[in-house]
Amino acid sequence: MNKTNKKLIYFLLFFIFLIFLKIDFRFADGIFCCSDDFDYYIHAETIVEDFDLDYSNQLKNLEDKRFYKNNISAPIGFFGSGLLSSPFLFVGDVFDSYLFQPTNNFMNYKLLIYSVSSIFYFLLTIYLLIKTLEILEIKFNPTHLVIFFSGSGVIYYVFERYSMTHIYESFTSALIIFFSAKFYKSSKKYSKYSLFIPFAIMLGLMVKWVNLYLLVIPQIIKYITKSKRSLFRFRNFYISSSISVVIFLLHSKLIYGKYTIDPRYVYLPESGQDLNIFTGSTGKNIFIEYFQNFLNILFTQEFGLLYFSPILFFALAFLVYIFLNNLRKLKFDKLSFLILLCFSQVFFTVLLWKSPASAYGFRYLFTLSSISIICYFYYLNNYHYKFLNSSLLVLSIFSIFSVLFFETTPATQLSLEPEINSFGKLSSYTSRYYLTGYLNSFFYLESYLKIFTTSFLGVFIFKFLDLTIGKEILNDFLSSYGLPVENSDFQNYLLEINTVTIDKLIFILLFTCLFVHFLYKNLYHYKN
């Protein structure tokens, strides 16, 4: 590759990063009660500030707003993502306390560096998936891998709502997959990875207790590798498994006051209203309702997987086709059956909830992104359905752009008032016709203005113009093109940009360079 092409690729990646990196949850003083974002944040905060799992400082006068049982208050969200992101919060806290000591708390380093944790684990997940496919000797295109993974919908929670768990779920599942691949492909009599696998599973369950499918991943990789090795023959596996169970139970006791592995104890109120899995909500046979809702998840305008998480859709389609095709031949394919069980366990959560979950996409399903990548490339290699790859590529790019257009117009915003969602359930924060709204938003100038102004690309450009020509000339210049500069939100936006200090913009530029360098190295220096 010549230098001109290299520079062009660098510039393109640089531009993409800054246009996707959003200010929405970064132009703030902190993350405050009460939300899922807050829950995961205060896990990190209590580790960094208090060096304990006592949340009294973080939940002062708000004890009954989250988990509150037997006079114990804690976040409802689980501990794992806070643990993984705490080093970033610590560095940010050091920056604020000892290096820069900001005069105001607006977009402080504590929040800013904490926010790049999600991007770090996004890159690390990609790295693990690339290395795993190499270990498994599965042919793949790394550029396609990044596009497919990004098109799963998880990038919204990487570049915008960074305090949510979804990229951490993808990372921990990729970590289990990687360690399992190293174990089963190793020729050594002793393998340290038999020690690592249980710890990785424990970490994954700490991130989201309900992701029980993680326990099955090592067996899936065993079937893929066709290895005769067994984890159960390694003493270290039993030792690390025992330690992992003890640590998990101990952390539940320290946080929630009870040794438990049951997520319902954390999620459900004291009154204990549980979900009845055998009762439908529409008077239909429950199995018919589940099947209709399953099809709804795949094809609904409200973030249907085909349009907004196509890698999950294609992986699932592969699995169903191969499993049924083997059954037709009177063969029982253990691999496809086992992966289908994993999908079923996660899908069942959504079928019970009957909602995409009040944010972008069917976010509870994004945990399946890593295993879907491995599954897709494995079956693509073994069954040679190459014609599907171009379709998946187009749909993934379509999905990636939908993240940019999310909440840019009224038609792409989530409802603030309760509305009937695609499952027929009255729900707040829904967008039943998001697909139509997304397509229509291509034809509205306000969509592109919103994308630009809420990105750090816009921040850099407006900051530069503010420093060089001044706010008044900038307003006059924009007004001359008929842009609504008199809008109070826009003027507040300019004031916020003025508040952002140069050192923070330099930090973002440096991090962007690292991001671009990593992607370029892994995408264009890869040799299959």
Instruction: For residue range 384-394, list pLDDT tens digits in order.
Output: 676 789 999 99
Half-sphere exposure of 205 (CA within 13 A, CB side): 24
| Cα 25 to Cα 337: distance, rounded to the nearest angstrom | 40
- Checking if the pLDDT of 277 tops 70, the result is no
- Per mean pLDDT, which range of 21-25, 178-182, 270-274, 517-521 is the poorest? 270-274
Question: What is the rounded (10 degree) CA torsion for 101, 107, 110, 114?
Answer: -160
Instruction: For residue range 284-340, list pLDDT tens digits in order.
Output: 678 888 999 999 999 999 999 999 999 999 999 999 999 999 999 999 999 999 999
pLDDT for res 270 = 61
Please give the average per-residue pLDDT across 61-74, as a whole number: 86
- Checking if the pLDDT of 104 tops 80, the result is no
| Cα 190 to Cα 185: distance, rounded to the nearest angstrom | 12
Residue with tokens 């938003």: 441
SS (H, E, C) 195-264: HHHHHHHHHHHHHCCCCHHHHHHHHHHHHHHCCCCCHHHCHHHHHHHHHHHHHHHHHHHHHHCCCCCCHH
User: Helix, strand or coil for residue 140?
Assistant: coil
Contact 331, 171 (CB under 8 A): no
H runs (alpha helix) in 21-108: 36-45, 80-94
| Cα 104 to Cα 102: distance, rounded to the nearest angstrom | 5
Question: Which helix (H) or strand (E) segment is 420 a member of?
Answer: strand 419-420
Q: Give the model's confidence band at 481: pLDDT under 50 very low, under 70 low, under 90 confident, else very high.
A: confident
Instruction: For residue range 161-187, list pLDDT tens digits in order.
Output: 999 999 999 999 999 999 999 999 987
> Could you tell me the residue ranges of all domains in the chain?
3-21+455-524
Q: Give the model's confidence band at 271: pLDDT under 50 very low, under 70 low, under 90 confident, else very high.
A: very low
pLDDT for res 74 = 93
Instruction: For residue range 405-439, list pLDDT tens digits in order.
Output: 999 999 999 998 999 999 999 998 999 999 999 99
| Cα 146 to Cα 141: distance, rounded to the nearest angstrom | 9
| Cα 22 to Cα 219: distance, rounded to the nearest angstrom | 39
| Cα 20 to Cα 225: distance, rounded to the nearest angstrom | 37
Do the strands 419-420 and 426-427 form a parallel or antiparallel pair, or are they unpaired?
antiparallel
| Cα 171 to Cα 374: distance, rounded to the nearest angstrom | 13
Q: Work out whether the CA dihedral 248, 250, 253, 259 comes out positive or negative.
A: positive
